[in-house]
Amino acid sequence: MHPFLQNDFHIKWATLTPDHIETDIDKALNEARSAVDAVAAQQPPLTYANTIAALDQGLDTLNHAWGLVSHLDSVNNSPELRAAHNAMLPKVSEFFASIPLNEALWETLKAYGVESGTEDLSPTKHRYIKETLADFREAGADLPPQQKKRSSEIQSQLAELTQKYSENCLDGTNAWEKIVTDEKQLSGLPKSALDAARQSAEQKGAEGWRFTLQAPSYIPVMTYADSDALRKEVWSAYSAIGRSGEHDNRQLVRQILDLRHEFAWLVGQENFANHVTERRMAASGQAALDFGDEIFKKVRDQFEKEAEQLRRYKAAEEGLPIDHPSLLEPWEVGYWAEKQRKASYAFDEEALRPYFPIDRVISGMYEIAQQIFGLRIEERDTSKVWHEEVKFYDLFDSETNEHLGSFYADWHPRESKRGGAWMNYFITGNRDPSVGERSPHLGLICGNLTPAVGDQPALLTHREVETIFHEFGHLLHHLCGDVEVKSLNGVNVPWDFVELPSQIMENWCWERESLDRIARHHETGDTIPQELFDKLLAARNYMKASANVRQLAFGKMDLELHIHWPDSAEEDLDSFVENVLQDYSVKYKTQTKSNIFNFSHLFSSPTGYAAGYYSYKWAEVLDADAFTRFQKEGILNAETGREFRIKILAKGNSEDPAKLYKDFMHRDPDPDALLRRDGLIP
């Protein structure tokens, strides 16, 4: 039967059980090895079809099958699934690491690379040949045999260590709960948080209110709870994830950093950051670091001013002298920042919640995408999904009626599901006329958003609405992809360009014209009152320098670790991070520790966002700048939207991203666009 090896577009999720994983992945591995061997042994005449394309096609089944296993590990984790996944992970990792280190294969591909100029190929295929050869070299294809062997071992070890790190983050998050039986301890918490906590307790058979470290539970406590003791307890528990006991990530992080650095040296790079960024827009670790430092210099004064203002505000509220206010505790910051925002703008974010029922937000977002990008989105039967909350949609071109792709959406937290929000894909459809008919793409979007409580729909925060738009932007990048080479489609672009399509979508969450499409009161159907909308806009740039510095600090910590490792290993890691971020950090009474032991972006996959977290800020500059064109020409302007779809979304990595950006904007990016939008420069 081999359920994981089926290539059905409509995946039969009920058949994908853990007991099939080992047999199916073993079979897929054997087929993939045979395909690699066949390409390696290919005799002249060498062509694109019997080398580059044959290699990709030979790996398709394994990539798809392992993608399904990894996906289920993210959304439906269980002891049985975890055991089956981890039993096969070393074999799969070792196989993929071995491909660029296969001497015979590399000789065949190099030989074809020399000859390929004589073949009548499209510019996209020529680009892919160059990219493939560069990928092989970057992975160590030119290394001598002993170093190739070590390179393969490193990649296999990294896969196992980062998987364990990810499991520790999930298990460490799930291991903690707080049951409160005295409602007086919950003073300040909004009704939405209390109702969710009550429901959570009931689901666990407990009395009272249950709080966890999952974002929809954690964030309201830190923002609204009047009880200093409760906030401290929750903050302390969250800060401890990955730092002790059976879910301890401290040694894993050192091992991961050691292996990454060793690998970078093996392939001739000074450090892992240079290895990662060499073919990205930044081009080097130091350039990425300089980029962040330049922004920091421009916002530093305002950042320090915001911290001082918050201290003064708290002192004044407590009747203490404001000339020399005392430092805050880290568990006080979110609480007092929210109080100050309310005082300054008379704006309570909870007042927006009733206007953001999740179904209205999503249907409104689809309306916006349909209008500006020339699409049509239709919900389909969702009986065959991996969880009852998952929905399934088809996406069409509104003019041609072509079925461009379909996607799954899974928006709420579960204990079996990893934290955060993400987009991924199962199938990249065919866009190469020489191969056959066009076929649809298949993708997915996941999140951990506020769930429904009782009979009331899930009511979201504005930030959660932005999250949905963000992940949908990634999804559109894949589904609107029109690249004839599958491996260059959609999100397979340089990492510091990949966040442009996602982050630009967040801008539609701030415009009256588009908000009226997504925000309707769940009981009355009314749009957001103008007074409340004005307050939302007025508060948009509240403590914006602090928000910028928080992201810049994550990016700097990431780069400093990967540039200066192993020198930094001589120090305690917390001390190293504290030292490099001393200017980027607010001073507190209780010194905070870094989040590197619970920071999945950096350590839950062999590379992932490692030495690439700066990409969020890099792409934010691009998105702030690119959205100015929509603001000038109409934020729901179909011509502008169609041009963005054709020149950015459809192109994937078929051309240099700097050129794609210039094709859309007709100029280079304005480096100050982000700070101007954030109100930090005129």
Q: What is the pLDDT of residues 421-456, one digit of tens each?
A: 999 999 999 999 999 999 999 999 999 999 999 999
Q: Which fold has domain 354-538?
A: Neurolysin; domain 3 (1.10.1370)
Residue 610 in tokens = 């490692």
Closest CA to 402 of 435, 439, 355, 359: 439
In this prediction the pTM is: 0.96
Residue corresponding to tokens 């087929």: 31
111-142 pLDDT tens trace: 999 988 889 999 999 999 999 999 999 999 99
Active-site residue 511, yes or no?
no
Residue 235 CA, distance from chain mean position: 23
Q: State yes or no: pLDDT of 62 exceeds 80.
A: yes
**Secondary structure (H, E, C), 505-563:** HHHHHCCHHHHHHHCCCCCCCCCCCHHHHHHHHHCCCCCHHHHHHHHHHHHHHHHHHHH
**Residue 368 — pLDDT band, cuts 50, 70, 90?**
very high
pLDDT of residue 291: 97
Q: State yes or no: pLDDT of 51 exceeds 80.
A: yes
Q: State yes or no: pLDDT of 184 exceeds 80.
A: yes
Residue 309 in tokens = 């203002």
CATH architecture type of domain 3-142: Up-down Bundle (1.20)
Residues 339 and 317: beta-carbon distance below 8 Å:
yes
Q: State yes or no: pLDDT of 109 exceeds 90.
A: yes
**Residue 255 — pLDDT band, cuts 50, 70, 90?**
very high
476-504 pLDDT tens trace: 999 999 999 999 999 999 999 999 999 99
**Residue 263 — pLDDT band, cuts 50, 70, 90?**
very high
| Crossing angle (nearest 10°) for helices 52-75 and 103-115 | 120
**Every domain of the chain and the residues it spans:** 3-142, 176-212+226-240, 354-538
Rounded CA separation 479/425 (Å): 9
Rounded CA separation 116/326 (Å): 68
Least confident piece of the model among 55-59, 322-326, 666-670: 322-326
pLDDT of residue 566: 87
pLDDT of residue 1: 86
**Residue 382 — pLDDT band, cuts 50, 70, 90?**
confident
Q: Counting runs of H as helices and runs of E as strands, what totals does the chain give?
A: 25, 7
Burial bucket for residue 130 (CB in 10 Å: 0-12, 13-18, 19+): exposed
Residue 515 in tokens = 């908000």
Residue 627 in tokens = 């959205």
629-679 pLDDT tens trace: 999 999 999 999 999 999 999 999 999 999 999 999 999 999 999 999 999
601-621 pLDDT tens trace: 999 999 999 999 999 999 999
Type of residue at 395:
L
Determine what percent of the chain is predicted with pLDDT higher than 90: 97
pLDDT of residue 568: 74
Rounded CA separation 327/310 (Å): 10
Q: State yes or no: pLDDT of 586 exceeds 90.
A: yes
pLDDT of residue 138: 95
Residue 174 CA, distance from chain mean position: 21
Q: State yes or no: pLDDT of 279 exceeds 80.
A: yes
The mean pLDDT value for 394-408 works out to 98
pLDDT of residue 112: 97
Cis peptide preceding 45, ω within 30 of 0: yes
Q: Which residues contact 623 (CB under 8 A, 6 or more apart)?
A: 499, 500, 503, 504, 506, 507
pLDDT of residue 383: 79
Q: Which helix (H) or strand (E) holds 209?
A: strand 209-211
Residue corresponding to tokens 């200066």: 564
Rounded CA separation 503/551 (Å): 14
Active-site residue identified among 471, 506, 560, 620 = 471
Closest CA to 32 of 85, 97, 82: 97
Rounded CA separation 211/213 (Å): 7
Determine what percent of the chain is predicted with pLDDT higher than 70: 100
